[in-house]
């Protein structure tokens, strides 16, 4: 059996603990509502297929059909339904959501 790399073990333990803490407490966070001021400013919708592409033409760009929270590089999944987004601090966004801040 190979020797255990102490630094690797500690880093893995810290990462696991951090993920567990985020997952546990993020469920208590409010879900972004459609009338949230930031949501309105960013064109956020809970279901990406319902984006008004006349108004938010980024979503109508090539490959736009694949733009949603789960494909956004700043999305942090909590579970299959919700995740965290730094644009909506302290709140949860829908996994199938979208906003104009989408990042490839």
DSSP for residue 103: -
Which one of 78, 82, 85, 92 is in contact with ligand SF4 (CB under 6 A)?
Answer: 85
Contact 39, 99 (CB under 8 A): yes
- Told to check if 99 binds ligand SF4 by CB under 6 A, we report yes
Pattern of binders to ligand SF4 over 1-40, x per CB under 6 A?
A: ----------------------------------------
For strand 30-31 and strand 76-77, is the pairing parallel, antiparallel, or unpaired?
unpaired
Contacting ligand SF4 within 45-84 (CB under 6 A): 69, 72, 74-75
**Positive or negative CA dihedral for 9, 14, 20, 23?**
negative
């Amino acid at each position: 059996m190979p020797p255990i790399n102490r630094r690797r073990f500690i880093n893995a333990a810290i990462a696991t603990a951090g993920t567990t803490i985020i997952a546990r407490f993020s469920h208590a966070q409010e879900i972004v509502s459609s009338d949230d001021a930031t949501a309105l400013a960013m064109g956020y919708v809970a279901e990406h297929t319902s984006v008004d592409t006349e108004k938010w033409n980024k979503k109508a760009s090539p490959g736009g059909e694949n733009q949603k929270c789960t494909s956004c590089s700043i999305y942090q999944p909590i579970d299959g339904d919700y995740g965290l987004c730094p644009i909506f601090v302290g709140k949860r966004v829908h996994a199938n959501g979208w906003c104009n801040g989408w990042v490839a």
